[in-house]
Amino acid sequence: MAKVFRMVAKDWGPFEEQPMTLFSAEHLTMVFGGLVAVDDFSLELNGGDLIGLIGPNGAGKTTVFNMMTGSLKPTEGKISFREEEITGLKPNAFTRKGIARTFQNIRLFQDLPVIENVMISYHGRLRSSFMGAVLGTSLYRREEKEMRDGAMALLQRVRLSDFANERAASLPYGQQRRLEIVRALATHPRLLLLDEPAAGMNPQETQELMDFILKIKEDFDLTVLLIEHDMRLVMGICQRIKVLDHGATIAEGTPKEIQNNPQVITAYLGEAGENGVA
């Protein structure tokens, strides 16, 4: 199984030398009406990083995520990827440049077969023209086969190949999560953003997910940023952690530093006697 996977990874061709800074967000600010959802957020990701973004509910994590994937245009600030400014581009352009994401609440193409869910991610790299696809030129037929074989190999990797022709909606929850990650992988990302990947999973499943994330990071030479509530997962695999509260970055450091940071503890548990003061 692993062999197939490595073969797929290799098919993507040798990765060119990664620039040291893969992704950078500088002074991102997002204002909704009168509410400052994210205030002056900066982040730099180097190739091969595995960074966690945590914070209490409403801290602005998902807003940061949406800015980093192009779903939201930041009110202020600049986003660069591989030394190219991409602020203000559409989400599909972010993806085609190499930033893939998953969603907090799973968003699969429910009524389509599992394999087509993955094949859709290949479409952005299709070379055939529209007419070529309709008329079925030999180039298109070859590409279609490549898409199908590639998708199948990825599905095998996550033990979903038996369900290739089932509707995506019919899969159990845990498998839907895996399918979503595989679908993001099929876009050939350099940077993978995971939005609460362990949401709704039991400890056993979370453990499997941790191993899975580490494995794909290795095999696909990925840089990973994840938002997560599950501290076990974040503390277990992240190299560095950034903590948001009320839109502002309150701490940054290794898991150990974060665990002992008084500000972080305050943000999560509230200040001693805070409720009494009013």
Partner 1 sequence: MNKTRDQLLTGLSVIGLFAFLFWAEGNTSEYQIRLLNNTAIFITLAVSYNLINGICGQFSLEPNAFVAIGAYTSALLTMSPAEKQLSFIIEPIIWPLSVISIPFWLSLIIAGCVTGFLAFLMGFPVFRVRGDYLAIVTLGFGEVVRVVANNLQTITNGPLGLKGLVPHTNLWWSFGFMLLTLFFISRLTKSSFGRAMKAIREDEVAAEAMGIRSFRYKMMAFTVSGFFEGIAGGLLAHLITTISPVLFTFFLTFNLLIIIVIGGLGSTTGCVISSAIFVFGSEALRVVEEPFSIGALHIPGIPGMRMVFFAIMLVMAMIFARQGIMGRGEFSWQRFFEWLQRTGGRLRSSR
Residues at the site binding partner 1, with contacts judged by CB under 8 A: 69, 71, 90-92, 95-96, 100-101, 103, 107-112, 116, 119-126, 128, 130, 133-136, 140, 143-144, 147, 183-184, 186-187
Identify residue 201 by its one-letter amino acid code: M
Query: Smaller CB distance to partner 1: residue 167 or 240?
Result: 167
- Residue 254 CB, shortest distance to partner 1, in Å, is 30
Nearest to partner 1 of 92, 202 (CB atom): 92
Cβ contact 247:262 at 8 Å: no
Two structure tokens written together for 47: 């190739």
Output 128 or 249, the one with its CB closest to partner 1: 128
Asked whether 163 and 182 are in contact (CB, 8 A), the reply is no
In terms of CB distance, is 41 or 122 closer to partner 1? Answer: 122
**Smallest gap from residue 102 Cβ to partner 1 (A):** 8
Distance in Å, CB of 158 to partner 1, minimum? 17
Q: Are 223 and 47 a contacting pair, CB within 8 Å?
A: yes
Query: Smaller CB distance to partner 1: residue 186 or 258?
Result: 186
CB of 211 to partner 1, least distance (A): 25
Nearer to partner 1, 82 or 101 (CB): 101
Task: State both tokens at 18.
Answer: 């990664």
Distance of closest approach, residue 69 Cβ to partner 1, in angstroms: 7
CB of 229 to partner 1, least distance (A): 21
